[in-house]
Amino acid sequence: MVIALITLALMMIGAVAALRSMNATLSGAGNIGMKRDMSNQVEVALRKAMASLTGATSATLSNSSTAMNYSATILPTTPEGIPTVLLGTSPTTVGGLGVATNVVDLTTAPAAGTGSPPQVTMYYVIDRLCKNAGVVDTTNCLTPTTVSTGTDSKGGVPPPTKPVYRVSVRVDGPRGSQSFYQATLTN
């Protein structure tokens, strides 16, 4: 009888350990799912930022524009490459660079195909990877490294240089989670 009680106690300890391990695994899987959902939702902010860039002229993009949450020069960043204007508790105006239109609030609108909102708020900022505002110059701006092999009707004058733009997005998700995403593009 004593041996049976000892065996039963050992089995109970093993069952408790298995339950705790399962709870930790489920929590980890939930965090991975939440992180994946946040990375899927960031597409909304990236599309909004890219739409504002494609609608702008090169003259408009030579200077900063708070209406577009756009900086014509490289923004100061953390060692990880995150623009410092996106840091803080609630960057609704992106440190004075932008306006409240940089906020994409998905806490009230239901996600496509679901009845509940994703509880995600995103802030974005666009910066042109140039040292100085003004005209694009290869000594001033980061440009794509691919060389155009095409020619124009005047005997092969290369096309105008296009700068590289960086779109940085901060995503505030449920349970106090926060992620940063970046994309680079040319216009």
Task: State which amino acid sits at residue 42.
Answer: V
Helix locations, 1-110, DSSP H: 2-54
Q: Which is nearest to 162 in space by CA: 143, 149, 145?
A: 143
d(CA 166, CA 22): 41
The per-residue pLDDT for range 45-88, each reduced to its tens digit, is 888 888 888 877 777 788 887 777 888 888 888 898 888 888 87
Helix locations, the chain, DSSP H: 2-54
Q: Which is nearest to 121 in space by CA: 182, 67, 175, 174?
A: 174
The per-residue pLDDT for range 116-129, each reduced to its tens digit, is 666 778 888 888 88
pTM given for the model: 0.69
Please determine, for residue 98, whether its predicted confidence score (pLDDT) is greater than 80.
no
